[in-house]
Amino acid sequence: MNVITGRGLTRRYAQPGLDPVVAVADVDLTVEAGTVVAIEGPSGSGKTTLLGLLAGLEVPDAGTLEVMGLELSRLSRTERARLRQGRIGIVFQSFGLLASLTAGENVALPLALAAVSPRDREFRARLGLEEVGLGAAYGARIDELSGGERQRVGVARALINEPALILADEPTGSLDEENAGDVLVLLTDAVRRRGASLVLVTHDPASAARADRHYLMRDGRLTLGVPA
Ligand SMILES: Nc1ncnc2c1ncn2[C@@H]1O[C@H](COP(=O)(O)OP(=O)(O)OP(=O)(O)O)[C@@H](O)[C@H]1O
Ligand SMILES: [Mg+2]
């Protein structure tokens, strides 16, 4: 079974007075359930745009895209947001945490949107933080945490809804080598424990080596590649 089946995906951005940028160009991508897929490519090659399509944040100009059995073009913006909230976890390079909330509150945020009771939210957020080795950080302010710790909070938040699909956009790109390695192992292990699927955008050869399948992106085009 595939969690993602994309065919001929294309996304263009208009530029005043110039030809449009083809950020994603005729991309075919399938992701089987329970697999880790790495996408590597230079800056500007379209990786974030492609993840945005997979997340239903962006709409393709051409092509078809099925995510967990749902053809995204048939869903409204609200339905896509609901799919994202309920079944997709996202990890960002810049962590995407809210500085005004504690680590625990950040992790619990998707549950608040899903109207889970405060008591259950706290219970699950504590478990989530324990899973990423931050059991003591529930009440910590984000600015008290190191980069590696912040991204572990980001991972815990992405997993809190038990999503079937996790999308990670250079999740270790802001970290030093040691922290990057730790976060990568933590993320891939957590995904594999759950039998979930991960699409991991990365510049890091070690990330690509932990994947079941490895793609290269160049100028919007995606090809199967061999890890460096
Ligand atoms: N909202 C937008 N409006 C106009 N052009 C955009 C927009 N988003 C991306 N682009 C262009 O699309 C191309 C692909 O951008 P994208 O951010 O997907 O690349 P990337 O591979 O994620 O790069 P990086 O490694 O730097 O994050 C670039 O030429 C970029 O300038
Ligand atoms: Mg990007």
CA distance 78 to 66: 17
The pLDDT of residue 225: 85
Per the DSSP assignment, residues forming a β-bridge with 215 are 39, 224
CA of 58 to the centre of ligand 2 (A): 14
Measured on CA atoms in the order 175, 178, 184, 189, is the torsion positive or negative? negative
Residues touching ligand 1 (Cβ under 6 Å) are 13, 21, 23, 41, 43-49
**Which residues lie at CB < 5 A from ion ligand 2?**
48
Measuring from atom 30 of ligand 1, which residue has the nearest CA? Answer: 44
How much is the pTM? 0.95
Measuring from atom 14 of ligand 1, which residue has the nearest CA? Answer: 46
The pLDDT of residue 26: 98
142: how many CB neighbours lie within 10 A of its CB?
Answer: 19
CA of 46 to the centre of ligand 2 (A): 7
CA of 222 to the centre of ligand 1 (A): 15
124 in Cβ contact with 116 (< 8 Å): yes
Report residue 8's pLDDT band, with 50, 70 and 90 as the boundaries. very high
Given ligand 1 and candidates 12, 48, 167, 174, which is best to mutate, with the most ligand atoms within 8 Å of its CB?
Answer: 48
At 14-70, the pLDDT tens digits run 999 999 999 999 999 999 999 999 999 999 999 999 999 999 999 999 999 999 999
CA of 101 to the centre of ligand 2 (A): 26
At 167-176, the pLDDT tens digits run 999 999 999 9
For the chain, how many structural domains are there in total?
1
CATH of the domain at 122: 3.40.50.300
> Domain of 172?
2-224
Given ligand 1 and candidates 10, 12, 21, 172, which is best to mutate, with the most ligand atoms within 8 Å of its CB?
Answer: 21
The burial of 82, by beta-carbon neighbours within 10 Å (0-12 exposed, 13-18 middle, 19 or more buried), is given as middle
The one-letter code for the residue type at 135 is G
43: how many CB neighbours lie within 10 A of its CB?
Answer: 7
The pLDDT of residue 24: 98
Measuring from atom 6 of ligand 1, which residue has the nearest CA? Answer: 13
